Structure 1
Amino acid sequence: IKQINHTCIITVIMKRSNNEDHCGLLKQLLESSPVSVEINKKGFHRELVTTVELIPDVPSGVRVLLVQRWPRGVYLDPYQLASLSDQRDWQILLDSGIDLEVPAHKTSGFVTYVYPTPDGPTPSLVKVTIPVHGRYHEPSFDGKTFTSVDIEPPELLLRTEKCAQLNNLEPHIVVDAPCTPDNSSTCPWVKLLHQQEQGSGGFQFPVGDGSLVTPVCGGTLLVTMICCVALSKYMWEHRII
C-alpha cells in the first residue's frame, strides 16, 4: 500500500511540474514574441503582412491565433481567399459575411481569426500575407482628395492543452475564441495584455470632391438634354421611327 501511495505522489508531482513548465514556456512566448505589420502595394488593392517572431524550437502543441479587427473602410474578398487556399499555409475565419459592393459609410467593421499552420508544428517565424481592398468613400466637402483608414496591429493569442493554469499567467488575460477555423467550438486562449508598442498602419484612398457634385450633375443633365433634342430632331427630319 505504501508503495502505491508513493507512486501516486510521484505521478502527481511530475504532472504538476510538467504543467508548470508548459505554462512557463507559454508566458515566455507571450513576453518575447514581437508582432510587426507591413503594408505593401498601392491603390485600392493592398497586402497586409503580419510577422510574429517566436522563440526558437517552439514547444509542440502550442497554437497561435491572430485576431485582426478591420475598420469599415476596407474589406477582404472571401472568394479570393478561397482561391488562394492552396498557396498559403494559414487558414482564416471571418466573423460575418462581407458585401463587396457596399461603400464605406454604409457598412461596418469586422473581425478575422487567422490560424498559422493549424495542422502542423508552429514555426519560430510566422508570416501571414492577406490581400486587402479599399472601399469607395463619400465625397469630401473640405477640399481633401484622400482619406485615411487606420489598421491596428492584430492581437496575439496563444494556447496549449498542456497548460491548465491559464489564469496564473498574469498580467496576460484569458479570452474565449474559436478553437479552429471550422468555428465548431470555442477555447480559452491567452492574450498578450500589452501589445508591443507599434503604431497603427494606414491606407490612403482617393475620394471625390463633394463641391463638384452640383456642377457635374447639372452639366451631365444639360448634355443629356441637348443630345436628346438633337437626336429627336434628326429622327424627325429623316422620318426615322
Structure 2
Amino acid sequence: MYFVLLSVLAYLSTCHCLIEDGKVDENHCVRLKELLDSSSVSLEITKKGFHREVVTTVELSLDALSGVRVMLVHRWPRGVYLDPYQLASLSDHSDWQILLDSAIDLEVPAHKTSGFVTYVYPSPLRPTSRLLRVTLPIHGRYHEPTFDEKRFTSVNIEPPDLLCLNVNLCSFLGVEFNNFKPHTVLDAPCSPDNSSTCPWVRVHHQQKQGPVCLQFPVGDGSLVTPVCAGTLLVTMICCVALSKYMWEHRIV
C-alpha cells in the first residue's frame, strides 16, 4: 500500500517538473523571439583609397536573456580582400575572432578571383553585450583595365547577416522553427575552430540597410600599347647609354 502511494506521488512530482520546465522553456523562447525582432545591424565605411575599414554595429536586447551567442556573417565581393596576417595580429588585441571560409590570395586582380565569406565571433571570454562593434580592415584589389571612358569601378559591400545561437533552454528542433518566422535557420560553424556546425537563427530585418558602394580607380586599356612602347624605348636608351659609358671607361 505504501509502495503504491509513493509511486503515485513520484509520478505526480515528475509531471509537475516537466510542466514547469516546459513553461520556462516556452518563456525563454518567447524572449528569444523578442530579441530577434528588436535587434539591428548597421554598417559604415571609413577611410579612403584602396585601404578602408568596415565598421559594423549590432544592437541587441539582452536585458532579460542569457545563454545566447551571436555571430556576423560577411559575404565579400571579389573586388576587395582581407589580409589574414593582419587579421591575426588584430584579433590578439580585439574582442572578436574571425573565421575565413577559404584561402585568400593577396596578389591576384579582381577579375581572377572570387568572393569569400567571413564568420565573426565575439570573444567567448566575455558575455554577449547589448552593443557590439566590429571593425575590419579591407583592401581594394586591382581591376582589369577598361577601354571605355570609365575611370572608376564600383564595388558593393553588403551588410552582414546577424546569426543567433541559443545555448540554454530553447532547443529549436523540428517544427519549433516555424514560431520564429520570418527568421530562418541555417547551419554554420559553431566556433572559430570550424570543428563542427550548429543550427543558427538568421535574423531577418524588415528594413535592412542597403549595400555601401565603394569606388576604386581602374586603368585605361587604350594606353597599354603606348605605355609598353614608351617603357621599352626608355629601357633600350638606358641600356645603350650605360653600355657606351662602360666601353669608354673600360669598366668590366
TM-score, length of structure 2 as denominator length = 0.90
| Counterparts in 2 of 1:20 and 1:211: CA distance versus 1, 3 Å | same
Q: Does 1:82 align with 2:88?
A: yes
How far apart, in 2, do the equivalents of 1:8 and 1:119 lie?
36
Contact 1:177 1:187 in 2 (8 A): yes
Equivalent in the alignment of 2:145: 139
Match in the other structure for 1:35: 41
Given the alignment of the two structures, is residue 53 of structure 1 paired with residue 59 of structure 2, yes or no? yes
Task: Structure 2 unaligned segments of length 5 or more: list them.
Answer: 1-6
Q: What is the distance in 2 between the residues matched to 1:56 and 1:231?
A: 73
Change (3 A) 1:125 1:27: same
Q: Do structure 1's residue 184 and structure 2's residue 195 form an aligned pair?
A: yes
Equivalent positions of 1:149-160 (< 5 A) are 149-160=155-166
SS of residue paired to 1:87: coil
Flag the structure with larger Rg: 2
Map of 2:4 onto structure 1: none
Q: Provide the TM-score with structure 1 as the length reference.
A: 0.94
Is the 1:58–1:124 contact (alpha carbons within 8 Å) kept by the matching residues of 2?
Answer: no
Structure 1 residue 221 displacement after superposition: 1.0
Q: 1:237 Cα shift? A: 3.9
- In structure 2, the partner of 1:201 is 212
Which blocks of at least 5 consecutive residues in structure 1 are unaligned? none
How far 1:194 sits from its partner (Å)?
4.5
1:227 to 222, 228, 238: 238
Partner of 1:109 in structure 2? 115
State the identity %.
69
* 1:226 CA displacement: 2.1
Change (3 A) 1:180 1:87: same
Partners of 2:83 and 2:249 lie apart in 1 by: 52
Cα separation, 2, equivalents of 1:9 and 1:160: 25
1:175 aligns with: 186
Residue 123 of structure 1, aligned match among 99, 120, 129: 129
1:62 to 53, 60, 68: 68
| Cα distance change on mapping 1:240 and 1:121 into 2, 3 Å | closer
Which residue identity does 1:66 align to in structure 2?
L
Give the aligned residue type for 2:170: C
User: Are the counterparts in 1 of residues 144 and 219 from structure 2 also a CA contact under 8 Å?
Assistant: yes
